[in-house]
Structure 1
């Protein structure tokens, strides 16, 4: 079914935009144009309502066009549209930093604002290297990521990331090494955290033996790997990483661009899985996707190290930052987003409704031989699909396009379909989404 956009776009305009993470040639033959959004639904240029099965890009857990956020942004535009990010401040950045800290584990209370998740990761990695130099341990420069990890699109992010398609085109990045992922044979169709797989953390000891802790600055992992298809940590795995990092004087960074602020049914992935890292990176849900914003949150001791060695108090403690760090409009959106999460009890709702979501997602088991695994945690789920004639990305693409035709937006990536409904999704919407997905999988299974 074709949905040529009913817009005033010309072919020249379509050609001018080099789209991100998109098959540009395929898209421009039959563009899928979204015109409006409200609540849990998009409206496309043909006037069809499309259920948002991924909360934007894991960003809009509150749904779309949230009145409190819209009002906060509109008011901010009228009062202070931009404030210089360097050497001067505005009230809302300090208010938002405190509010973010309230969502973080105890001890992570120093917030450095960025413009995206990619910038947040870059900030965390730069600070990690600088921190060890400040401590007189300047040889600690290497990083350890994880296979199937995603840490943004910057050169540091693809270096520590472990999705091959995101790496192979770009050549040499930062000196980084990768732990194995935690999808262990025998754990397929686990509900929540698998009972086995913790042993994969022991590979970190092998890497330390090979490279020596004196050369390793940090380990960076997503508590739950989202972009690779919702890979949930096995029981005890993150705790073991924390223990090893502590034993060998290595920083542990959690990339929580997807997991922070409610998606896991907790304030953060750290809280959900019971492990506190040294640094947490974030973006997406902090403003509900309304305005680009990210942050890296550091433990007190890291911040104090820079303050204590900063020289004269008018000098920069760290030469780092972005033009749009702590942008006033983004801060206003962030304050309204986090206040809405709290005032409406949405974290508690996700926690309460997660078993219902789990039931529907796992009802797809056995619906088609093409389904080789299903994983879930909180309001997130990933479905792995068998390859078609050696083309692992083809079937997910076909299924996602079928879903779009049916009126549902889901994400396809690699060999997976990924789902992340808004926090206020009703059971009837879960049911219809999964029913439609089952039909689409059977069609191309």
Structure 2
């Protein structure tokens, strides 16, 4: 395929200084002094900037645009709902039909025993909800000392207070002080390490263990086939709640509804967001097992004092229903397995590149291309350089300190996958040549 290097001429809007928009998750000292990459429109797996240049969205924005951009069915559902009921609280006994119907639909697909559904506005809020509910559940059961939360190295659980406290990457906790007491992190691939930590802390003190089906933002690390079976057994044996963070992995990205189905276990809670609406509206939630719900649903005077203003937002729920219709109608679950295999085959061709130390792929529509220590160290190469070179050639990826992450919309074609990978190879070549 012919290599295209995209022009970066910028419009007058981008030259306005100073910019007052604070980009989240960014070094504003750098971002504020350069031109902005303004995305004007999107369709399918493609983005167009304000200069009219086209880019392949190699990350489904942030892991969420599973059905692709520009789906008029979702836009129509949002418009229809806005003209009927824009929004209203679901506190107390208030409800709306989209929230009720979505909860039933999610519960019907969730691998959780006797599920109930709490709705939120996103993944970070959902982690807060699940963690607070885990602690509150044990208090309701007369065991308030069970507060400790355990997570995994590399695990990403959002950047709210509790999420920051249990995140498996130190760089996201640095400088904030303690976010949550009674928390610890164990190696992501060891059932034995989890059990040893539970015994060290004391099972009478541990509330819950949090894990992603595949570690996503931390670098795309898939578990061994029997890992989660072992985890579920350890948690059951020691009376620890097993909470699956499926924010990235759900809604067909792993070929099923919540990702964890690939491992044949039934967790106590599942946290979801992102792909539930494919990002068309902000929505998340927690699927809660009936055992955890019991003291709140079946005992009087025991409320769960937690919630958010926009939880159960009818317009967001309408978007989710339309998105789920697309997943089912187009059988993107089967498609995801096909795309998973094609992406795996294509991205593994990069393993022979001199700058690449490891390629991780093959479980879900996601992959990571890790650079060598020599490249990142002695040669002074950064993943940000490779990201910039790929974007200059028309492909948007995501850079973390040691790897380039890939998680395209599920509707990506084989030809587009090949384009993505060949462009990444060209970007690696350009960076290597620059540092010779």
Give the TM-score taking structure 2 as reference length. 0.93
1:13-412, aligned counterparts within 5 Å?
A: 14=19, 16-28=20-32, 29-87=34-92, 88-107=94-113, 109-174=115-180, 175-182=182-189, 200-311=190-301, 317-387=303-373, 388=375, 390=377, 395-412=382-399
- Structure 1 stretch 367-376 or stretch 220-229: which is displaced more? 367-376
Distance in structure 1 (CA, Å) of the matches to 2:379 and 2:308: 38
* Aligned CA-pair RMSD: 1.8
Q: CA deviation at 1:367?
A: 2.0
Give the match's secondary structure for 2:362.
strand
Give the match's secondary structure for 1:319.
coil
Q: CA deviation at 1:375?
A: 3.2
Distance in structure 2 (CA, Å) of the matches to 1:282 and 1:347: 17
Q: CA deviation at 1:108?
A: 5.3
Aligned pair 1:440/2:427, yes or no? yes
Contact 1:392–1:415 (8 Å) recurs in 2? no
Change (3 A) 1:178 1:393: farther
Q: CA deviation at 1:346?
A: 0.6
Contact 2:38–2:50 (8 Å) recurs in 1? yes
Contact 1:4–1:32 (8 Å) recurs in 2? no
Contact 2:376–2:382 (8 Å) recurs in 1? no
Distance in structure 1 (CA, Å) of the matches to 2:58 and 2:426: 16
> Hey, what does 2:3 align to over in structure 1?
none
Change (3 A) 1:49 1:168: same
> Hey, what does 1:190 align to over in structure 2?
none
> Hey, what does 1:426 align to over in structure 2?
413
> Hey, what does 2:400 align to over in structure 1?
413
Distance in structure 2 (CA, Å) of the matches to 1:34 and 1:359: 30
Unaligned 5+ runs, structure 2: 1-5
Distance in structure 2 (CA, Å) of the matches to 1:324 and 1:340: 24
Give the match's secondary structure for 1:243.
helix
Give the match's secondary structure for 1:8.
helix
Distance in structure 1 (CA, Å) of the matches to 2:370 and 2:143: 43
Q: CA deviation at 1:12?
A: 4.1
- Structure 1 stretch 111-120 or stretch 99-108: which is displaced more? 99-108
Give the match's secondary structure for 1:365.
helix
Distance in structure 2 (CA, Å) of the matches to 1:324 and 1:265: 30
Distance in structure 1 (CA, Å) of the matches to 2:380 and 2:120: 32
Distance in structure 2 (CA, Å) of the matches to 1:281 and 1:325: 14
Contact 1:376–1:382 (8 Å) recurs in 2? no
Deviations 1:43-86 (A, max 9, x none): 01111011110111111010001111010011111111111221
Contact 1:117–1:283 (8 Å) recurs in 2? yes
Change (3 A) 1:392 1:178: farther
Distance in structure 2 (CA, Å) of the matches to 1:310 and 1:166: 40
Distance in structure 2 (CA, Å) of the matches to 1:144 and 1:392: 37
Distance in structure 1 (CA, Å) of the matches to 2:318 and 2:96: 11
